[in-house]
Structure 1
Amino acid sequence: MIIAKKGTVSLQFYKSEFRSSLLSDYVLLDQQRRFTALPGDALEKCDEDPDRHPVVIFYENVPAGFFVLHGWEGVKDYTENQTALLLRAYSINLPYQGKGIATASIKLLKPFVKGNFPSVNEIILTVNQSNITAQTVYKRGGFVDRGERVMGREGEMFIYHLNL
């Protein structure tokens, strides 16, 4: 298992000892919850699907965020690339927002995925067209909007790509 680290931000696969801080102390604004799953809900789906890989974002060695890397079953609705992973359920816990953690964690995706999934050549994600903050973070991290669109539960979503 490869841990990606840049300054005070690092990425690490989820372990059960992180569960309490991700479940009891994790807060998102209602507007943010429209666009993403809370870690507890995402972890339930990970327990049911071995192709979902939960990842914890650490800030100064404290769990500060969360996301899931999902294999082919998650990817296939958005691309034909069978060696891609889907980034989903991405969020930063409210007390840690505004510290640059999101941008740093997105920039760590490439080394983290390359180190842990050597056959993967692309990461994709969907982002709601009205979620401007997330779009900005993903673009800063190197994701590219190729003009592909899908409809989601909250309206039109953009499909972003990050080549590895």
Structure 2
Amino acid sequence: MNTLIFTFIIGIGATAAMDLWGVVRQPLLGVAPPNYGLVGRWFAHMARGRFRHESIAASAPMRGEHLIGWTAHYLIGIAFAALLISIWGGEWLRQPTMGPAIAVGMGTVVAPFLIMQPGMGAGIAASRTPRPASARVQSLITHAVFGLGLYATGWVMHFFYSS
């Protein structure tokens, strides 16, 4: 049971670190934080059978899209934390190391590049955006920060796991 609770907390912590980066990078790099309302819109349209959009921003707004988007964002973060724990096991919880956390964090960029961005109309790896290379770099940095968040939260939680 502890592993499940810790996985949940690590996923939330890593996702929160990613969100904090989204806020910090705006004044540093001039890049706006992601709009998870649009992610919610995408998921809400899926419930009605529509999985791909030319532009999610131009698609009809959906009731509760912001709540849906933020909830999905955190649930996905928890799922990626579960991936880390399922691969590296309880040993990683007892003694977190940065390598596996960064590997999972960077590996998770496959999801937006191949699923979310094409489905929302941005193309594979943001190929249909005004500045694809910049969008790709920002995605990679953001997912590296997620990996750092996995490690940092795992490091904090290992004190509880080992006691």
* More contact order relative to length (CA 8 Å, sep ≥ 6): 2
Q: Which has the higher helix share?
A: 2
Q: Which has the higher strand share?
A: 1
Larger Rg: 2
Pair in the same fold by TM > 0.5: no
Q: TM-score, normalised by structure 1?
A: 0.29
Q: TM-score, normalised by structure 2?
A: 0.29
